[in-house]
Amino acid sequence: MGALAAINPVLGIAVVVIGILAGIFIWYPAAGLAALIATRSSLDAFQDATRLQQAFLFNPASALGLILIVMAVVLLGLRLRNRERIEWGGRPGLAWGGWIVFSALGLPVALIQLGSGGLAPAVREYVRLMSIFALYFLVINLARDPLSRRLMIAAILLGLIAPTVASIEQLITHDYTHGIDGMVRIYGTFVHPGQFGLYSVAIAMLCLGLWEDAWCGKAGRIWVGGVFAVSLTLTILTATRAAWGILLAALFVRACMLPRRQRIITLTIMLLASAALAPFVAWRIQDLIEGREGSPDMTNSFIWRLLNFRMLLGVFAESPVVGHGLRATGIVNPVRTETSEGYERGFAAHSELIRVLVEQGILGIVVYVAMAILLVSSIRQLTFGRGREDALGHHGLGRSVWAFLATSFVLAPLGAELLSGTVLMYVILTVIGVLYASRAYQSPGPTPARGER
């Protein structure tokens, strides 16, 4: 390690971190997995391409996904060898696993439609999807006790530290990389403010659920309250309209689950808070209806999105049944842009529905809708089922993640790409894994006496 640090300090640090994580895994596997969960949010900026090409000869975000897949395979092998119990995740596992099986069709489609240049990003996207399932598999098989499950949740909250620090630095230095009309949009350690906004909304909703569950007692509530305030502030500063809309919708859905008095109080607070923030976010709403100086055709954001959708729908019509292959939007979109790393690619779809249509066609939409329904309904079954409150101990958390995911699937087609957010999906699948593990490994009650069964 010392020799590596002398030759290349960054690589030496990476090796040291890997050594520490390996030690944690040997000592307590669940804690090692929690450490990986906490680090993923600080690596999202490397998802497309690293900005430190000389320092990193590999993509650390993709490397983490590969590590998770290898860990899942090793764990599966050990459990099979020792004939131990293996959990596959029930309906949530079936939903995401089925999506991965279907997505394999996007690999030959990308090769046929786009050649070897389209196959490489398709393979990378498929590995990313598999890493999300690998994480879920690891969570449900390692989070066998309450302490392990608390570590997983704590890791999600700790993951907000690095993006928050980066956001503060961007505000201080007036980083305009993602600015609009001279207004800074923070993006933390993420590729784009849009994904950062959705991630912050997810953290805020999880905090509401943990607060209701009195997670880790009074000290836990102080921590959760602080994380909620930070995540809410970050959501506003990302200036991401899709995130704002999903946040308000998720809060409304969650409030409707409360008793009448609490519901009225919550909705009133939401109304007053929205009215107080309106003057500060009005510029972002006006962008939907007013043209901007400096825009080549003086179109507003709404018209621009419609033009982008129309372009992509034209591309979709060229291969309507199976699409153009995984991660093909950046290749086939006629609307081009130059990234901060200096290479050209097509604009993102800015709509989950349009992206799936372009990349996986009508078949993809059918499977996507089935996956979304199965995933959301499985969370409802885990959380709202009869007698679940006492068995799970995560009543509020389950309802909050259900409200977030249900509203996200409904609203994402209007202006966001839900499944493209790796960190976001890591958070969601980790929480679902904790909910499932809480049910799967709950302690059996006392055996009833004869005649009392």
3-state secondary structure 277-290: HHHHHHHHHHCCCC
With beta carbons less than 8 A apart as the criterion, state whether 194 and 264 touch. Answer: no
Cβ-Cβ contacts under 8 Å for 37 (sequence gap 6 or more): 135, 152, 155, 156, 159, 426, 430
Question: What CA–CA distance (Å, rounded) separates 126 from 111?
Answer: 13
Q: What is the pLDDT of residue 391?
A: 40
Residue 451 in any domain: the answer is no
Residue 452 in any domain: the answer is no
User: Could you tell me which residues are beta bridge partners of residue 355?
Assistant: none
Q: What is the four-CA torsion angle of 148, 150, 153, 159, rounded to 10 degrees?
A: -80
Residue 295 confidence (pLDDT) above 60:
no
* Tokens 């999880």 -> residue: 206
Q: What is the pLDDT of residue 259?
A: 86
Q: What is the CA radius of gyration of the chain?
A: 22
Q: What percent of the chain lies above the pLDDT cut of 90?
A: 45
User: Could you tell me which residues are beta bridge partners of residue 336?
Assistant: 346
Question: What CA–CA distance (Å, rounded) separates 157 from 150?
Answer: 11
Residue 228 confidence (pLDDT) above 90:
yes
Per DSSP, which regions of 291-385 are E strands? Answer: 336-338, 344-346
Residue 235 confidence (pLDDT) above 80:
yes
* Tokens 């100086």 -> residue: 293
Phi–psi pair at 140, nearest 5 degrees? -70, -20
C-alpha angle 122-432-63 in degrees, rounded to nearest 5 = 35
* Tokens 């607070």 -> residue: 269
Cβ-Cβ contacts under 8 Å for 62 (sequence gap 6 or more): 46, 47, 124, 127, 128
C-alpha angle 364-367-368 in degrees, rounded to nearest 5 = 80
User: Could you tell me which residues are beta bridge partners of residue 183?
Assistant: 180
Q: What is the pLDDT of residue 291?
A: 55
Per DSSP, which regions of 302-376 are E strands? Answer: 336-338, 344-346
Select the highest-mean-pLDDT range: 12-26, 175-189, 204-218.
Answer: 204-218
How many domains, in total, are found in the chain? Answer: 1
Average pLDDT over residues 434-448: 70
Select the highest-mean-pLDDT range: 178-182, 218-222, 298-302.
Answer: 218-222
Cβ-Cβ contacts under 8 Å for 262 (sequence gap 6 or more): 255
The residue ranking higher by pLDDT, 90 or 335, is 90
Q: What is the pLDDT of residue 293?
A: 47
With beta carbons less than 8 A apart as the criterion, state whether 228 and 207 touch. Answer: yes
> pLDDT category, 395, cuts 50, 70, 90?
confident
Question: What CA–CA distance (Å, rounded) separates 33 from 52?
Answer: 26
Q: What is the pLDDT of residue 53?
A: 46
Domain span at 301: 2-47+57-440
**From its phi and psi, is residue 410 left (phi > 0), alpha (psi between -120 and 50) or beta?**
alpha
**Which DSSP category does 183 fall into?**
B
Residue 350 in any domain: the answer is yes
Residue 448 in any domain: the answer is no
pLDDT tens digits for 364-386?
Answer: 999 999 999 999 999 988 887 55
Question: What CA–CA distance (Å, rounded) separates 98 from 78?
Answer: 24
Q: What is the pLDDT of residue 201?
A: 96
> pLDDT category, 390, cuts 50, 70, 90?
very low
Which of 437, 435, 443 lies closest to 381, judged by CA?
A: 435
The 10 Å Cβ neighbour count of residue 374 is 16
Residue 237 confidence (pLDDT) above 60:
yes
Residue 344 in any domain: the answer is yes
What one-character-per-residue DSSP string does 166-208 give?
A: HHHHHHHHT--TT-BTTB----TTSSSHHHHHHHHHHHHHHHH
Q: What angle separates helix 29-39 from helix 60-82, to the nearest 10 degrees? A: 160
Residues in the chain: 453
User: Could you tell me which residues are beta bridge partners of residue 337?
Assistant: 345
Residue 453 in any domain: the answer is no
Residue 387 confidence (pLDDT) above 70:
no
Element (H, E) at 371: helix 352-384
Q: Which two tokens stand for residue 150?
A: 């608390």
Residue 450 confidence (pLDDT) above 50:
no
Cβ-Cβ contacts under 8 Å for 175 (sequence gap 6 or more): 169, 184, 186
Cβ-Cβ contacts under 8 Å for 142 (sequence gap 6 or more): 29, 30, 33, 75, 148
Q: What is the pLDDT of residue 55?
A: 42
CB neighbour burial string for 362-371, b if at least 16 within 10 angstroms, e if fewer: eebeebbeeb
Residue 26 in any domain: the answer is yes
Q: What is the mean pLDDT of the chain?
A: 84
With beta carbons less than 8 A apart as the criterion, state whether 202 and 238 touch. Answer: no
Residue 355 in any domain: the answer is yes
Ranking 13-22, 206-215, 370-379, 409-418 by mean pLDDT, the lowest is 13-22
Residue 445 confidence (pLDDT) above 80:
no
pLDDT tens digits for 78-128?
Answer: 999 998 888 998 999 999 999 999 999 999 999 999 988 889 889 989 999
**Which DSSP category does 443 fall into?**
P
Q: What angle separates helix 193-212 from helix 146-158, to the nearest 10 degrees? A: 140
The 10 Å Cβ neighbour count of residue 212 is 18
Which of 352, 347, 332 lies closest to 117, judged by CA?
A: 332
